[in-house]
């Protein structure tokens, strides 16, 4: 047999063996799903990014539950003293990982803080008041982008969100 005929026969036998045992045939063509050093096609997977991070004004929330409020009537002192937990958070993340957002905005959006807080006011005779504990938050806005799929068939979603970091407690006394 000639050398070329021998090589063709060997390739044919290898292909027949692969097909008869249900194994995948070897591919000699360039794979389209593999990224190349020159920046070729994108592989299958997910790409997340966070951009346009900027600080925005602080905000205060006033939770409406008995853990965060106390009522009283004078004369005397009205006090609140409790261990309260506040958790950093993020809104509208579009499924972008919390670790990616945390690294991009510079704060851990999944951490929490527990602080014992106390506050008191003096009430005149017959005066009815409520002490309310509020949470003060530092806030950062950001844009997010998430692409998922394979080369040539990526689905991209975008949006904006706000990351909140607990700063401190605030107090107010209101007439009831």
> In this structure, is residue 164 part of a structural domain?
yes
Q: What is the pTM of this model?
A: 0.69
Tell me, yes or no, whether 30 lies in a domain. no
User: Quick one: 133 exposed, middle or buried, by C-beta within 10 A (0-12, 13-18, 19+)?
Assistant: buried
Tell me, what CATH number does 137's domain have?
Answer: 2.170.15
Residue 24 lies in a domain: no
- Residue 42 banded pLDDT, cuts 50, 70, 90: low
148 located within any domain: yes
Domain assignment present for 81? yes
> Band of the pLDDT at 38, cuts 50, 70, 90?
low
Confidence of residue 152 (pLDDT cuts 50, 70, 90): confident
- pLDDT tens sequence across 50-102: 999 999 999 999 999 999 999 999 999 999 999 999 999 999 888 899 999 99
Region 5-27: mean pLDDT is 43
Examine residue 12 and state whether it is found in any structural domain, yes or no: no
Confidence category of residue 113, pLDDT binned at 50, 70, 90: very high
What is the domain count for the chain?
A: 1
Average predicted confidence (pLDDT) for the chain: 83
Q: State the residue range of the domain holding 157.
A: 44-175
Residue 14 lies in a domain: no
């Amino acid at each position: 047999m000639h050398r070329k005929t021998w090589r063709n026969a060997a390739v044919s036998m290898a292909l027949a063996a692969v097909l008869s045992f249900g194994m995948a045939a070897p591919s000699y063509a360039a794979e389209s799903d593999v990224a190349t050093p020159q920046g070729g096609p994108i592989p299958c997977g997910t790409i997340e990014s966070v951009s346009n991070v900027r600080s925005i004004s602080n905000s205060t929330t006033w939770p409406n539950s008995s853990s965060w409020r106390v009522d009283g009537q004078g004369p005397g002192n009205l006090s609140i003293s409790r261990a309260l937990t506040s958790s950093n958070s993020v809104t509208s993340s579009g499924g972008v990982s919390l670790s990616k957002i945390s690294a991009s905005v510079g704060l851990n959006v999944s951490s929490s803080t527990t602080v014992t807080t106390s506050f008191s006011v003096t009430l005149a005779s017959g005066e009815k008041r409520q002490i309310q504990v509020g949470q003060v938050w530092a806030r950062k806005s950001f844009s997010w982008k998430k692409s998922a799929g394979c080369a040539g068939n990526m689905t991209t979603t975008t949006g904006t969100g706000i990351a909140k970091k607990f700063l401190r407690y605030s107090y107010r006394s209101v007439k009831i």
